[in-house]
Amino acid sequence: MEWKVIGIIAAICTTSGFIPQIIRGIRTKRLDDISPVMYILLIVGLSLWLSYGIHIKDMIIIVANAAALAFSLFIIFLRFKYMKQR
């Protein structure tokens, strides 16, 4: 199997893993059980991976990490939004 295909499959799996958390958070309006420290570290790591992908001009790394970064930021945004509403 070509390595790019493996990279695309890996990117889809890891990036789409955020979607159930977002859906659950929007439905329940509760995200106080997620760790903001873990998400901050994840955001830093994803930002570094995105920078690395841009540096080596690898679209799989760029797209996957940009999407995961957006999802992570959205989850953090929802967490603080819903906590302020309580």
What is the Cα–Cα distance from 45 to 58, expressed in whole angstroms?
17
CATH for 3-84 is 1.20.1280.290
Helices 3-16 + 59-84 axis angle, to 10: 0
Digit-coded pLDDT (tens) for 13-25: 999 999 999 999 9
Helices 36-56 + 59-84 axis angle, to 10: 160
If you search the block for the tokens 């959205």, which residue do you land on? 74
Predicted TM-score (pTM) of this structure: 0.91
Mean pLDDT of the chain: 95
Digit-coded pLDDT (tens) for 31-54: 999 999 999 999 999 999 999 999
